[in-house]
Chains A and B, each alone.
Chain A
Amino acid sequence: MDDLTEMLKGTLEGCVLEIIGSEETYGYAITRRLHELGFADVVEGTVYTILLRLEKNGLVQVTKRPSGLGPPRKFYALNDAGREELATFWAKWEYITSRIDKLKEGGR
């Protein structure tokens, strides 16, 4: 689907947290995972800025590992604060989607 960018903005950080939460991973792999999910518009630069923010907010643990080619890769894993943030994200998501679904169904 095209033109999701604006709508995705607030949720992409949660998506990245969830992906890191399931296994330690790196930027390119996260971007590919998002593409597989159907978010084809997400570029690695976007993921990179999100990862910077997560790092700055102390939600991830970063490990540098040598890669076969090119410079060492940064691998990201969630720490306790990150897991807490992820739980909060899903709680907020639950709330928003339930409200919007209700709106769509015309209930109150």
Chain B
Amino acid sequence: MNFWETMTGSDLTREWKAFEARAEALPADYRAAWEEIKGHLFPYADFTGRNLMPILDGALGLLEETAADGQSIHEVLGDDIEGFCAALAGGEGARSYRDRWREQLNRNVARKLGRLGG
């Protein structure tokens, strides 16, 4: 990744297009699951969303592999796509903006409490 790509995120756009092209080739119910996965992973994105790229690549790979096996999407992901995404993001060590807010909140509360305690 060169400086231009870092600044503009042009490599991300390219990668994103490649993902969508791969997703297009999936069966319809898999495509629907892909949309849902993207939606559930989004909260785990960092500022640019770069941290999600390898996770999305892996998830798409799983969908491709299992679709080729002829498994139903339900056999692959069950009912809990949200839980699956949380495990995915956690497994890759992605931190969400919610984590950062929570930390910030905890820090502020601790500081104020510390002041009260004198």
A residues at B contact (CB < 8 Å): 27-28, 41, 43-46, 48-49, 52-53, 56, 67, 69-71, 73
Contacts and interface: CB of A to CB of B under 8 A. Distances in A.
Interface of B: 58, 61-62, 64-69, 71, 74-78, 84, 87-88, 91-93
Contacts of A44: 62, 66, 71, 75-77
7 nearest CB pairs, A to B: A70-B68, A43-B78, A49-B87, A52-B91, A45-B77, A45-B84, A44-B76
Contacts of A46: 78, 84, 87
B113 to A, nearest CB: 34
Contacts, number: 53
Nearest to B67: A70
Prevailing SS type, chain A contact patch: helix
Contact of B68 (A43, A45, A53, A71): A71
Name, among A45, A48, A53, A70, the residue most crowded by chain B CB atoms within 10 Å (CB to CB): A45
Contact of B78 (A41, A69, A73): A41
B65 A73 contact: yes
Contacts of A43: 74-78
B76 A69 contact: no
